[in-house]
Amino acid sequence: MSRNLELPPVEIQVESRALVRDRARGRSKLVGAMVGLALVAIGCRGVLLCVRPAQQVIDVGMVQRYDQVVLRAARGEILDREGRRLATSVDTPTVAVDPEMIKADEVDSLAASLARILDLPVEEVREKMLRKGRYVKVAARVHPAIAAEVQRLGHHAVWTHSDPRRYYPEETLGSQVIGFVDAGGHGRAGLEQYLDEQLRGGSIVVQRRRDQLGLDVDRPATWGNTTNHGLNVHTTLDRQIQHAADEALATVMLESAPLSVSAVVVDVRTGDILAMANAPEFNPNARSEEDVASRKNHIVMDAIEPGSIFKPFTIAAAVEEGIVTPDSIIDCEGGQYYFNGGDVGDDHPKGLLTVTEIMKYSSNIGVTKLAFQLGAHTFIDYLHKFGFGERTGVPLYGERRGMIRNPDKIRPIELANTSFGQGATASPLQMAMAIAALGNDGIRMRPRLVSRVEAVDGVAEVRHEPQEVMRAVSVETAQKTVAMMQTVTETGGTGTRGRVPGFRVAGKTGTAQKVKNGVYSEARISSFVGLIPAEDPVLAIVVIVDEPTQGSKYGGIAAAPAFAHIAKRSMQILGISPDPVLLAEEKKVPVAELPRSTPREPVRLTWAGDAWSVPDFSGRSVRDVLVGLEGSGLRVEFEGSGVAIAQKPDPGEHLAPGQSVSVVFQ
């Protein structure tokens, strides 16, 4: 039998409202006290940070509040020896916009106005105005007149500011020597690279405030006029002589079509380099990928076999050692000389010759016998005295040392070849300084390309005075050698085209075989070295023609006329008058000269929207036309030499880049 159990009801205890209120008040007071204590602690910490802030807090605050700006010095100038600018820095306007300050309904009209002024596509300008950010560059390096027209728009979101740009007033003049700078303002060739640190000067860091959005609200402070400028470099280059060298090389390029041609002019007494020219040339104001090869400075960066222009040093060594005199007779074997280990031949076979005639007729056999009499050690030692086999110390990167054989290992055939410039290598600058040593009574000078480096206020930081390296030969030997070299340009010599009216010239021609793929080829390096005036030398000039492909390949024909042009113009520039007696005597003797046009305004092409408007070339020199067409993309065809007498197409007609213009010279 089951029973149902019934449980008693549970009584729920309900707290009184008064008790609940008391408990809530207690909890509220506790939370309030804790919050109060926290606020007091935070306040105390805040006061402490204000009175004695931690360095970490200071650093974070500075980063958020201030922005650092680096102010770089304006790049120093490069000048010629008369203080004329060869490289300078100019401020060029840049047009910029603030897209956030341009209203949507203003974009189209403002873009159209800017595009018209800047000659840019409207869509390109409009796209830049729609970009995000507070600064967008619309156009850089605009003409100041165009920048002024932009400012006249008066729009608060459009403005112009100036950025420094490296500018070369003489354009192609001495471009391989001066060099150029990259977009970051760093020198990348020539003196711009070698003296980059001095030219760039220093820099300072200034701070400006930023708002809560991180935008700059201050302009950086200005930097004093005397401290925001790099050092100025004064070179020994003479702008006018450099121009004369460029004229001569341009004609050689046209008439001989070589791979390259180079010339260097040196003051024999000081070692100053008055000109250092290379062709093809390039314009550092308008560089392109196509002119990379033309940026090479062959004067210092080429080590070539000099050929017969080496012979004066072999002869000078023999005279200095007392082995021979200028009148000593050497048997040149009728044009072919056999010896133990090889044989040597002459292009113009001769029998008995004096040492002077060996120089005049450029006999390989004659100088070979002199080298054998000197012996390897003595002969090589004299070559080192003249500076071969070692760098000259010119302030340019990439200078070649050249190669002179070890006298302990040299074979007879190698000694013979070295005596007339084969199997040894030298740079054109080494040749110039060695020839200058003969003109300087036997004393070899260190080449000087930079005379001083000074601050903008004219205070010289560095001075380079003329420096003697060593005596190569005695005064008497040097003068005898120069006198023998003078016969080279006289009737019957190999360098008659190197004559200069009214002056005696001491010279030497060279025509060296060019090595290709390790063997001698049919290609030639034609050269001419000389001193003027021969009786009291002032200048040493070297002209090197690398692989002429048109006309004669002999140095006396391919290179000597360029020497004559440079020498004649240099004498005029230096104020050295020709001898009137010599002028009268030489009227009957033809002298190879290069045509020169009367100085006029440069040839300028005009862009006609989609093509070039061809200018009138009549009466212009080859150089004028070449410079005028440079960078146009037009193909050039030349005929003849002298000044322009005809052209096709006619002046005023239009040519698109890639089309040809033909000019006839006479």
CATH number at residue 154: 3.90.1310.10
Given this model, what pLDDT does residue 57 score?
66
Amino acid letter at 245? A
Is residue 308 part of the annotated active site? The answer reads: yes
Q: Which DSSP string do the residues of 539-566 spell out, in sequence order?
A: EEEEEEEES--SS--SHHHHTHHHHHHH
Average the pLDDT over each of 18-27, 523-532, 554-563 and give the range with the smallest value.
18-27
The mean pLDDT value of the chain amounts to: 87
- Of residues 221 and 340, more confidently modeled: 340
pLDDT tens by residue, 487-503: 999 988 889 999 999 99
Strands 336-339 and 443-445: unpaired
Among candidate residues 67, 89, 122, the one where a domain is terminated: 67
Given this model, what pLDDT does residue 224 score?
43
- Of residues 254 and 56, more confidently modeled: 254
**In this model, does residue 282 exceed pLDDT 50?**
yes
The whole-angstrom separation of Cα 526 and Cα 256 is 10
- Of residues 444 and 15, more confidently modeled: 444
The 8 Å CB, 24+ separation contacts for 139-144 are 139/94, 139/95, 140/92, 140/94, 140/95, 141/92, 141/93, 141/94, 141/165, 142/92, 142/93, 142/94, 142/95, 142/118, 143/93, 144/93
Are residues 380 and 256 both part of a single domain?
yes
Are residues 226 and 250 both part of a single domain?
no
- C-beta of residue 505 within 8 angstroms of C-beta of residue 570: no
Q: Which of 129-138, 149-158, 291-300 has the highest mean pLDDT?
A: 291-300
Among candidate residues 14, 44, 67, the one where a domain is terminated: 67
Are residues 170 and 247 both part of a single domain?
no
pLDDT tens by residue, 368-406: 999 999 999 999 999 999 999 999 999 999 999 999 999
Q: What is the pTM (predicted TM-score) of this model? A: 0.75
Q: Which residues pair with 164 in a beta bridge?
A: 91
Tell me whether residue 16 is in a domain. Answer: no
- Of residues 586 and 384, more confidently modeled: 384
Are residues 579 and 635 both part of a single domain?
no
Are residues 335 and 244 both part of a single domain?
yes
Given this model, what pLDDT does residue 217 score?
56
Are residues 53 and 94 both part of a single domain?
no
Among the listed residues 89, 175, 260, 308, the single catalytic one is 308
The whole-angstrom separation of Cα 349 and Cα 346 is 5
Nearest alpha carbon to residue 198 among 173, 235, 169, 233: 233
Given this model, what pLDDT does residue 666 score?
57
pLDDT tens by residue, 182-225: 877 889 999 999 999 999 877 666 666 666 555 555 554 444 44
The tally of domains found in the chain comes to: 4
Tell me whether residue 140 is in a domain. Answer: yes
Tell me whether residue 375 is in a domain. Answer: yes
Given this model, what pLDDT does residue 545 score?
97
Are residues 406 and 537 both part of a single domain?
yes
Q: Which residues pair with 275 in a beta bridge?
A: 265
pLDDT band at 641 (very low <50, low <70, confident <90, very high): low
The whole-angstrom separation of Cα 141 and Cα 129 is 19
CATH number at residue 525: 3.40.710.10
Given this model, what pLDDT does residue 366 score?
96
Tell me whether residue 137 is in a domain. Answer: yes
48: containing domain? 25-67
SS3 content of the chain, % helix, strand, coil (to 5): 35, 25, 40
Are residues 56 and 82 both part of a single domain?
no
Both structure tokens of 381: 């030692």
The whole-angstrom separation of Cα 646 and Cα 291 is 29
Among candidate residues 210, 232, 254, the one where a domain is terminated: 232
Are residues 473 and 366 both part of a single domain?
yes
The whole-angstrom separation of Cα 401 and Cα 302 is 9
The whole-angstrom separation of Cα 411 and Cα 415 is 6
Tell me whether residue 252 is in a domain. Answer: yes
Tell me whether residue 512 is in a domain. Answer: yes
Residue 110, CB half-sphere, CA atoms under 13 Å: how many? 26
Are residues 570 and 623 both part of a single domain?
no
Tell me whether residue 7 is in a domain. Answer: no
Tell me whether residue 167 is in a domain. Answer: yes
Are residues 245 and 228 both part of a single domain?
no
- Of residues 457 and 302, more confidently modeled: 302
Are residues 167 and 251 both part of a single domain?
no
**In this model, does residue 70 exceed pLDDT 70?**
no
Radius of gyration of the chain (CA): 38
Average the pLDDT over each of 118-122, 485-489, 580-584 and give the range with the smallest value.
580-584
pLDDT band at 44 (very low <50, low <70, confident <90, very high): confident
**In this model, does residue 51 exceed pLDDT 70?**
yes
Q: Which residues pair with 352 in a beta bridge?
A: 331
The whole-angstrom separation of Cα 321 and Cα 370 is 11
For the chain, the farthest-separated pair of C-alpha atoms sits apart, in whole angstroms, at: 168
pLDDT band at 63 (very low <50, low <70, confident <90, very high): low
**Averaged over 17-22, what is the pLDDT?**
79
pLDDT tens by residue, 417-473: 999 999 999 999 999 999 999 999 999 999 999 999 999 888 899 999 999 999 999
